[in-house]
Chain A
Amino acid sequence: MLSVSVVSINILIALLFSLGAAPILVWIERRVAGFIQDRLGPNRCNIKGIRLGGLIQSFADMLKLVFKEDYKPSSIKEGFLFSLSPVIVFVCSYLTFLVIPFADDLHIGSETFMMQALPLEFGLLWFLAFAGLSVYGIIIGGWASNNKYSLLGAIRAAAQVISYEASMGLSLVSVLIIYGTINLGNMVDYQGQLLFGFIPAWGIVLQPVAALLFVVTAFAETNRTPFDIAEGESEIVGGFHTEYSAMRFGLFFVGEYVAMSASSALIVTLFLGGYHIPWLNTAALQAHVNVIFVAIMILLPFGSYYFARWITKNNRWPQVGDIRNKEAAWLKKILLIVNILVVTLLGSFLLFGLSDDGVNISVAALQIITFAFKLLLVNFFFVWVRWTLPRFRYDQLQDLGWKVLLPLALANIFFTALFVVGFGV
């Protein structure tokens, strides 16, 4: 019973971080794009005045995609492959997310649970395997569309994956040499240590070159700008999804965001300390959980107070009857309720004390929140880069892949191995 509930909670969290994050990421993408281009982005879509800064627009978009006519051009002969390819992209992207650990191994009573949806030891290889497979969706889709632009997009996607997967794998080899394990959970454990006693031993500190290489190849692997030549709307219309519409396109679209979220999650896990709060590894967190509770109880009301003031300042409309004024009132009420709930919950924890299991569960919850926060930051980075850098030209992309990234990755492996063997770290 216990194991079933923990496993289902893990699967739910994975769903939430990948599929559930998609509408939020679309919202972030559009609003950030707006701010970068000195405009506001979508912010008017509302349900009875509730706009949540434009978040409702994502749900409206999704409803539109679902209810659109399921149209397939009559020029398409391979209907089965045409419909299969978005499914491949979506399923493979989702499968890559399942091996990411959200928290340290959870001990309840005598049982131990790995806090990932699929408790596999070889999570890194699993990620590489399914990230590589997801390109088939693009290739098959582009080919089945029976359209030269789609075919060009598909060919570009295939060439890009072949050239960047090698660098991605090689950049991970040097990381593996440092961590000495292929288990993602153990890698995060390793990053809980301190370097020289005061720097968190995160992957980005130990392996900056590998981190850079992996981030670049992850952009290529998820087909995000500046590597979105498979789509390349200024050159080849829409690339591989030119002929797609409605929910078939929707699956491609959501699949891209799920893949982006999975890549961000892997970047967090490998290079940004995973679920660790900086300077507080799991043991320290368990020892000082009460201090953390007190800190949250003090910081949360303060933060909420300033957030409420920010809402009041930015969401005030001169007309009395304006429906948008209600939103601010509602949000402030919800904020207040959340504050009261959290403070009473944590206060009761402090007052009555927690059992060992309780401490373990609250530490896991804290780590999941930390992980979600880091995931959001890296996702934001993906969006930021997309709206900052222009797209590579095809030959520039191949030059970068083969002449810069690959030699750099090989050199990095060589020097890392030399260092590890020479100093016996």
Chain B
Amino acid sequence: MIDIIFFTLAIFTLAGGIGTISFSQPIYSAMSLIVSIIAMAGIFALLSAPFLFLVQIIIYAGAIITLLVFIIMFLNVKNEHLPKEENKNIHLTLSAFLLIPLVLVSLKAFNTLPLKSMEIMSGDFGSIKLFGMTLFQGWLVPFELISILLLCALIGAVVYARKEDKIG
């Protein structure tokens, strides 16, 4: 049962990813990205990480892609504005074939990894409480550093967006 759900979600994730790069209309790409993200959230849920599952939907699907779509709509891209990609499918197929050696090498590398149990963790793993405790007890300094990094990015954006004060 879990295998069926996993494969369905995996197919949706991959299809969404392919859609993101192959649609010519940007809004379709954004929609495909949402499909991919929600399917990915489903995989998190399957791996008994309910907190990541919901946060993935709230932050990525609910906020970040909304912002992305907002900007795409603001630009109001019409079909005639888009570049004509006549041989797109041929290009995509060719590049997929060209990637085969790389994929083979990574598969080989993957096979040399030591064997570990691939069972889904059970019990409290990934629950909100345990997640928060681990994050704020074991990883407090990295967490705060990342927050400061985000704050810097935020301030930088505000500085760039602000109009220059007129002098004199």
Residues on A facing B (Cβ under 8 Å) = 81, 120-122, 125-126, 128-130, 132-133, 135-136, 139-140, 143, 151, 154-155, 158-159, 161-162, 165, 169, 182
- CB-CB < 8 A to A129: which residues of B? 54, 57-58, 61-62
Given contacts A122-B50, A132-B57, contact A155 B73 (CB under 8 A): yes
Question: Is the CB–CB distance between A122 and B51 below 8 Å?
Answer: yes
Given contacts A136-B34, A165-B62, contact A125 B69 (CB under 8 A): no
- CB-CB < 8 A to A140: which residues of B? 31
- Most-contacted residue by chain A among B62, B70, B127 (CB, 10 A): B62
Question: Is the CB–CB distance between A155 and B63 below 8 Å?
Answer: no
- CB-CB < 8 A to A125: which residues of B? 51, 54-55, 58
- How many Å lie between the Cα of A125 and that of B59 in the bound state? 11
- CB-CB < 8 A to A128: which residues of B? 54, 58, 62
Chain A, Cβ-Cβ closest to B129: A182
In the complex, the 9 A-B pairs of residues with the closest C-beta atoms, listed nearest first:
A132-B62, A125-B54, A158-B70, A129-B57, A129-B58, A129-B54, A155-B73, A128-B58, A158-B66
- CB-CB < 8 A to B67: which residues of A? 158, 162
State the majority secondary structure of interface residues on B.
helix
Residues on B facing A (Cβ under 8 Å) = 27, 31, 34, 50-51, 54-55, 57-58, 61-63, 66-67, 69-70, 73-74, 76, 127-128
Question: Is the CB–CB distance between A165 and B128 below 8 Å?
Answer: no
- CB-CB < 8 A to B69: which residues of A? 136, 139, 158
Question: Is the CB–CB distance between B128 and A133 below 8 Å?
Answer: no
- The 17 sampled A-B contact pairs (Cβ below 8 Å) are A122-B51, A122-B54, A125-B54, A132-B62, A132-B63, A136-B34, A139-B69, A139-B73, A143-B27, A143-B73, A154-B73, A155-B74, A158-B73, A159-B70, A165-B63, A169-B58, A182-B128
Chain B, Cβ-Cβ closest to A128: B58
Given contacts A125-B51, A135-B62, 20 further A-B pairs with CB under 8 A are: A121-B127, A122-B51, A122-B128, A125-B58, A128-B54, A128-B62, A132-B58, A132-B63, A132-B66, A133-B62, A136-B66, A143-B27, A151-B73, A151-B76, A155-B70, A158-B66, A158-B70, A158-B73, A159-B70, A162-B67
- CB-CB < 8 A to B54: which residues of A? 122, 125-126, 128-129
**Shortest CB distance B5–A (Å):** 17
- How many Å lie between the Cα of A128 and that of B63 in the bound state? 11
- How many Å lie between the Cα of A126 and that of B61 in the bound state? 13
**Shortest CB distance B141–A (Å):** 20
- CB-CB < 8 A to B76: which residues of A? 151
Chain B, Cβ-Cβ closest to A169: B58
Question: Is the CB–CB distance between B58 and A135 below 8 Å?
Answer: no
Chain A, Cβ-Cβ closest to B67: A162
Q: Which of B55, B61, B73, B74 contacts A133 (CB 8 A)?
A: B61
- CB-CB < 8 A to A143: which residues of B? 27, 73
- How many Å lie between the Cα of A419 and that of B139 in the bound state? 25
- How many Å lie between the Cα of A161 and that of B68 in the bound state? 13
